[in-house]
């Protein structure tokens, strides 16, 4: 699976820290995992996300992949547990994310 990061300060911090590895946690249709980044909420942080968006959750120091409804959702759109910094979005078939199991090792790497 590939993604594109935006040019936000948090996305730049994550890009500069790659490669990053973690262990998959699931919260509804959201994958999240701890990463070694500490930063505050950005001015455009939000809870309501779009399917396929990537985020950074400062409260849990976690990278988030939103691929469907979460326990906080009222409909089909993902809603984070609390505000996240928006980092970018996935490219490709979002359904592939559903095959990633809880506890799997996951890595974020640069693709040039």
Q: Per residue in 16-40, pLDDT tens?
A: 999 999 999 999 999 999 999 999 9
Coil, strand or helix: which one is 17? helix
pLDDT for 1: 84
Instruction: Report the pLDDT value the prediction gives residue 8, as an integer from 0 to 100.
Output: 98
Q: What is the pTM of this model?
A: 0.96
Determine the CATH number of domain 2-108: 2.40.100.20
pLDDT for 111 equals 87
* Cα–Cα dist 21/49, whole Å: 23
pLDDT on residue 54 = 98
Q: Which residues of the chain have pLDDT under 70?
A: none
b/e per residue, 39-55, with b = 16+ CB within 10 A? eebbeebeeebebbbbb
Nearest one of 110, 36, 41, 111 to 80, comparing CA atoms: 41
């Amino acid at each position: 699976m590939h993604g594109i990061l935006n040019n936000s300060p948090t996305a730049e911090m994550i890009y500069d820290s790659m490669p990053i590895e973690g262990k998959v946690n699931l919260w509804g249709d959201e994958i999240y995992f701890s990463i070694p980044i500490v930063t505050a909420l950005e001015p455009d942080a939000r809870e309501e996300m779009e399917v396929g968006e990537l985020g950074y959750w400062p409260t849990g120091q976690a990278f988030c992949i939103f691929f469907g409804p979460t326990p906080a959702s009222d409909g089909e759109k993902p809603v984070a547990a609390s505000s996240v910094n928006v980092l970018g979005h996935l490219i490709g078939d979002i359904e592939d994310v559903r095959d990633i199991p809880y506890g799997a090792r996951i890595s974020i790497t640069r693709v040039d």
